Amino acid sequence: MESMPFLHANQVFTIVFEQDLAFTEVRAILDYLLDRNAFDQEVQNDEGYYAIDVGTEAFQVWVSELDVVIERQ
């Protein structure tokens, strides 16, 4: 797995991934997570897991603080 810092919405996230991701996919996933307050520990769902569809692609995403693990389905 690779990781890289990613600046989005004035925050720096650490994105962890195996397969290449398009910037538009990463931005859409982060927007989805931000809309659901996924980075707020008090609001975060059990296990920090999210199933997210972006266009025709499906992703499994895990969140821990500002670390985001993205797996394409």
Domain around 7: 2-72
Task: Give the CA count within 13 Å in the CB-facing half-sphere of 54.
Answer: 21
pLDDT tens per residue, range 22-51: 999 999 999 999 999 998 877 666 678 999
CA 7-59-55 angle, 5° bins = 85
pTM of this structure? 0.91
- Return the structure tokens found at 52: 């997210």
Q: Which pLDDT score is estimated for 45?
A: 60
Q: What is the mean pLDDT of the chain?
A: 92
Q: What is the pLDDT of residues 5-18, one digit of tens each?
A: 999 999 999 999 99
The count of domains in the chain is 1
pLDDT at 55 over 80: yes
> What is the structure's pLDDT at 46?
64
